Structure 1
Amino acid sequence: MTTQSEQKSETVIIKKYANRRLYNTQSSSYITLDHLAKMTREGIEFRVLDAKTGTDITHQILTQIIMEEEASGEQMLPVNFLRQLIGMYGNSMQGLIPHYLEASMDQFRANQLKLRKAFEESIESNPLAKLAQQNIAMFQAAAAAFIPGAEAGGETAAAEPAKEKPAEGGTREELDALRSQMAEMQKMLDKLAK
């Protein structure tokens, strides 16, 4: 578990100069708002300080990134939400809004992670998903049998049946094996459909 002092030492300091250039003190290089947006998406903590005064201007820079994202066609904030948000400035509830929005976003992210995990677990235990994987492997094997060099483009696990090169007369046997596999799969699908 990281302590608060360790977290602060992990925070990247960005200095903003009067000429509007941003300087990453960790990498010793000039960066852009796009770099900061990418750092944010990657979960990298940073603080932006005015190079002359030392004032923390992280909030302003993050707001500027949102403005640029919204202007570039990546609009995520509905007009009605923006109107309501603007209407809250100066309101007696203004102090509660940041905490409410932060808690709502944290809850949204937690729900998103739970949903993703549940979806992944359901695929692993789903017989239809396993059947789909078998179908993909079978089709890749069939493609390898009929199209020279097709097995090179498939996934290693799924294309293993295609790796064995048949002897001169082996293609007929392969086709018969594929047909019997397809018939078995059709039976399984029919049982699942009932």
Structure 2
Amino acid sequence: MRVIRKYANRRLYDTQQSRYVTLEDLRRLILEEEPFRVEDAKSGEDLTRTILLSIIIEQEQADGKAEVFSNDLLAQLIRVYDMSSPLPLSRYLEQGTQLMLEQQKRMQSQWQQAMRHSPMEFMRELAEENMRFWQTAFKQSMPSSSDDTHDDKRS
């Protein structure tokens, strides 16, 4: 697992690559599904959750169209924290999000398959298949050269 150290000056240092990184660099690691742990350089305290929340905040502020957490949803989450027996919301959100991501990947795959089989692509594949069929059929109908030599010797 890659270790990222956070220094007092708020800079993040990737110990594997020996270089400073940004939240955007860490976001890319997440998209590439590369596991990492962010720790305080002095105390070794695990700061991964705090950094992940910072990445979410940065994304929420970067583009208003990509807003995932509405004000109402954020208010509801705050209320969950104040419940005497908080709901097992973490597990529910994890499973729901995982299901949503899997469905999106499946839909993208199906879309790519559909695009791969456009009418022109389908016709090209069909023409190639027909060409292979006729080449095979033509080769099978032609007498082999060894058959010709046997015929010549018999006469």
> What TM-score results when the alignment is normalised by the length of structure 1?
0.57
Cα distance in 2 between the residues matched to 1:52 and 1:95: 35
Q: CA deviation at 1:59?
A: 0.1
Aligned to 2:100: 108
Aligned to 1:169: none
- The AA in structure 1 aligned to 2:18 is S
- CA change 1:23–1:95 in 2 (3 A) is farther
Q: CA deviation at 1:93?
A: 5.0
Aligned to 2:75: 83
Q: CA deviation at 1:34?
A: 1.5
Aligned to 2:88: 96
Equivalent runs, 1:1-194 vs 2, <5 Å: 11-73=1-63, 74-94=66-86, 96-124=88-116, 126=117, 129-131=118-120
- The AA in structure 2 aligned to 1:46 is F
- The AA in structure 2 aligned to 1:59 is R
- CA change 1:133–1:92 in 2 (3 A) is farther
| Unmatched 5+ stretches in structure 2 | 124-155
Cα distance in 2 between the residues matched to 1:78 and 1:89: 17
Question: Relative contact order (alpha carbons < 8 A, sep ≥ 6): 1 or 2 greater?
Answer: 2
* Alignment deviations for residues 138-167 of structure 1 (CA, whole Å, 9 cap, x no partner): xxxxxxxxxxxxxxxxxxxxxxxxxxxxxx
SS where residue 24 of structure 2 aligns?
helix
Cα distance in 2 between the residues matched to 1:102 and 1:43: 15
> What TM-score results when the alignment is normalised by the length of structure 2?
0.70
Cα distance in 2 between the residues matched to 1:16 and 1:80: 32
Q: CA deviation at 1:92?
A: 4.2
Q: CA deviation at 1:62?
A: 0.5
Instruction: Specify the structure having the higher radius of gyration (Cα).
Output: 2
SS where residue 47 of structure 1 aligns?
strand
Cα distance in 1 between the residues matched to 2:69 and 2:121: 38
Q: CA deviation at 1:95?
A: 5.0
Cα distance in 1 between the residues matched to 2:53 and 2:98: 19
Q: CA deviation at 1:132?
A: 7.6
**Matched pairs, number:** 121
Aligned to 1:174: none
Q: Identity across aligned pairs (percent)?
A: 35
Cα distance in 1 between the residues matched to 2:59 and 2:114: 35
